[in-house]
Amino acid sequence: MSIELGSTVPNFTAQATSGQTINLAELAGKQVVLYFYPKDNTPGCTTEGQAFRDLYREFEDAGALVFGVSKDSLRTHENFKQKQAFPFELISDSDESLCRLFDVIRLKQMYGKQYEGIERSTFVIDAQGVLRHEWRKVKVPGHVDQVLEAVRALA
Protein backbone atom coordinates (compact mmCIF):
# COMPACT_ATOMS: atom_id res chain seq x y z
CA MET A 1 0.00 0.00 0.00
CA SER A 2 1.44 3.36 -0.94
CA ILE A 3 0.21 6.86 -0.31
CA GLU A 4 -1.75 8.82 -2.92
CA LEU A 5 -1.34 12.54 -3.51
CA GLY A 6 -3.96 14.44 -1.49
CA SER A 7 -4.28 11.75 1.18
CA THR A 8 -3.17 11.89 4.80
CA VAL A 9 0.18 10.24 5.42
CA PRO A 10 -0.11 7.56 8.14
CA ASN A 11 1.92 8.34 11.23
CA PHE A 12 5.37 6.77 11.28
CA THR A 13 8.31 6.68 13.64
CA ALA A 14 11.87 6.39 12.35
CA GLN A 15 15.39 6.49 13.74
CA ALA A 16 17.55 9.38 12.55
CA THR A 17 20.95 10.94 13.07
CA SER A 18 21.80 12.93 16.23
CA GLY A 19 19.95 10.29 18.29
CA GLN A 20 16.60 11.61 17.04
CA THR A 21 13.41 9.61 16.72
CA ILE A 22 11.25 11.19 14.04
CA ASN A 23 7.51 10.86 14.66
CA LEU A 24 5.37 12.39 11.91
CA ALA A 25 2.47 13.21 14.27
CA GLU A 26 4.83 15.30 16.42
CA LEU A 27 5.73 17.41 13.38
CA ALA A 28 2.13 18.64 12.84
CA GLY A 29 2.08 22.33 11.98
CA LYS A 30 5.27 22.06 9.91
CA GLN A 31 5.70 21.03 6.31
CA VAL A 32 7.90 17.96 5.94
CA VAL A 33 10.17 17.28 2.98
CA LEU A 34 11.28 13.65 2.71
CA TYR A 35 13.88 13.01 0.06
CA PHE A 36 14.72 9.37 -0.60
CA TYR A 37 18.14 8.63 -2.06
CA PRO A 38 19.98 5.39 -2.90
CA LYS A 39 23.22 5.55 -0.90
CA ASP A 40 25.37 7.73 1.36
CA ASN A 41 28.66 9.08 -0.05
CA THR A 42 27.84 8.47 -3.72
CA PRO A 43 28.18 11.32 -6.24
CA GLY A 44 24.48 11.95 -7.04
CA CYS A 45 23.36 11.56 -3.44
CA THR A 46 26.10 13.88 -2.20
CA THR A 47 25.19 16.54 -4.79
CA GLU A 48 21.49 16.28 -3.88
CA GLY A 49 22.20 16.52 -0.15
CA GLN A 50 24.47 19.53 -0.70
CA ALA A 51 21.69 21.28 -2.65
CA PHE A 52 19.25 20.74 0.25
CA ARG A 53 21.99 21.92 2.65
CA ASP A 54 22.66 25.08 0.65
CA LEU A 55 18.96 26.03 0.57
CA TYR A 56 18.15 24.78 4.07
CA ARG A 57 17.65 28.27 5.54
CA GLU A 58 15.05 29.02 2.83
CA PHE A 59 13.20 25.78 3.65
CA GLU A 60 13.21 26.76 7.33
CA ASP A 61 11.93 30.23 6.48
CA ALA A 62 9.02 28.59 4.60
CA GLY A 63 8.17 26.48 7.68
CA ALA A 64 9.52 23.19 6.33
CA LEU A 65 11.68 20.47 7.86
CA VAL A 66 13.93 18.45 5.55
CA PHE A 67 14.88 14.80 6.08
CA GLY A 68 17.02 12.59 3.87
CA VAL A 69 16.04 8.90 3.82
CA SER A 70 18.01 5.86 2.70
CA LYS A 71 18.56 2.27 3.83
CA ASP A 72 22.08 3.04 5.13
CA SER A 73 22.87 2.53 8.83
CA LEU A 74 22.79 5.37 11.35
CA ARG A 75 26.58 5.09 11.64
CA THR A 76 27.04 5.63 7.89
CA HIS A 77 24.47 8.45 8.01
CA GLU A 78 26.29 10.19 10.89
CA ASN A 79 29.57 10.14 8.93
CA PHE A 80 27.88 11.38 5.73
CA LYS A 81 26.01 14.13 7.60
CA GLN A 82 29.15 15.31 9.38
CA LYS A 83 31.35 15.16 6.26
CA GLN A 84 28.84 17.25 4.24
CA ALA A 85 27.80 19.52 7.17
CA PHE A 86 24.12 18.75 6.61
CA PRO A 87 21.97 20.90 8.96
CA PHE A 88 19.11 18.34 8.72
CA GLU A 89 18.75 14.78 9.97
CA LEU A 90 19.11 11.61 7.90
CA ILE A 91 16.63 8.79 8.54
CA SER A 92 17.86 5.19 8.51
CA ASP A 93 15.20 3.03 6.88
CA SER A 94 17.05 -0.28 7.11
CA ASP A 95 13.79 -2.28 7.29
CA GLU A 96 12.45 -0.41 4.21
CA SER A 97 9.16 0.44 5.97
CA LEU A 98 9.23 4.09 4.87
CA CYS A 99 10.51 3.15 1.42
CA ARG A 100 7.59 0.76 1.00
CA LEU A 101 5.06 3.27 2.40
CA PHE A 102 6.16 5.80 -0.23
CA ASP A 103 6.66 3.09 -2.88
CA VAL A 104 10.23 4.03 -3.81
CA ILE A 105 11.76 0.53 -3.98
CA ARG A 106 12.41 -0.40 -7.60
CA LEU A 107 14.09 -3.24 -9.43
CA LYS A 108 17.38 -1.77 -10.64
CA GLN A 109 20.26 -3.08 -12.66
CA MET A 110 24.00 -2.57 -12.21
CA TYR A 111 26.74 -4.43 -14.04
CA GLY A 112 24.13 -6.84 -15.43
CA LYS A 113 22.84 -7.81 -11.98
CA GLN A 114 19.31 -6.99 -10.84
CA TYR A 115 18.67 -5.76 -7.31
CA GLU A 116 16.06 -3.82 -5.37
CA GLY A 117 17.05 -0.26 -4.56
CA ILE A 118 15.67 3.17 -3.82
CA GLU A 119 14.47 5.25 -6.74
CA ARG A 120 15.49 8.87 -6.03
CA SER A 121 12.20 10.53 -5.00
CA THR A 122 11.02 13.52 -2.97
CA PHE A 123 7.74 14.10 -1.13
CA VAL A 124 6.22 17.21 0.49
CA ILE A 125 3.77 16.68 3.35
CA ASP A 126 1.82 19.79 4.36
CA ALA A 127 1.35 21.10 7.91
CA GLN A 128 -1.84 19.00 8.28
CA GLY A 129 -0.04 15.76 7.33
CA VAL A 130 -1.40 15.54 3.77
CA LEU A 131 0.86 14.47 0.88
CA ARG A 132 0.87 17.50 -1.46
CA HIS A 133 3.74 16.91 -3.89
CA GLU A 134 5.82 14.01 -5.15
CA TRP A 135 8.72 13.79 -7.56
CA ARG A 136 9.84 10.38 -8.78
CA LYS A 137 12.88 9.36 -10.87
CA VAL A 138 14.47 12.62 -9.75
CA LYS A 139 17.30 14.15 -11.73
CA VAL A 140 19.39 16.14 -9.25
CA PRO A 141 20.19 19.38 -11.17
CA GLY A 142 17.53 22.00 -10.37
CA HIS A 143 15.42 19.57 -8.34
CA VAL A 144 15.84 21.18 -4.92
CA ASP A 145 14.79 24.56 -6.38
CA GLN A 146 11.52 22.95 -7.58
CA VAL A 147 10.91 21.47 -4.12
CA LEU A 148 11.55 24.84 -2.44
CA GLU A 149 9.12 26.53 -4.85
CA ALA A 150 6.43 23.96 -3.98
CA VAL A 151 7.05 24.40 -0.23
CA ARG A 152 6.82 28.20 -0.53
CA ALA A 153 3.54 27.89 -2.46
CA LEU A 154 2.06 25.87 0.43
CA ALA A 155 3.39 28.17 3.18
Which residues are part of the catalytic machinery? 45
Q: Indicate the helix (H) or strand (E) that contains 141.
A: none
The answer for residues whose C-beta is within 8 angstroms of residue 33's C-beta and 6 or more apart is 52, 59, 64, 65, 66, 67, 122, 123, 124, 125, 147, 151
Nearest-Å Rg of the Cα atoms of the chain is 14
CB 79 within 8 A of CB 67: no
Q: Rounded to the nearest 5°, which phi and psi values hold at 97?
A: -65, -45
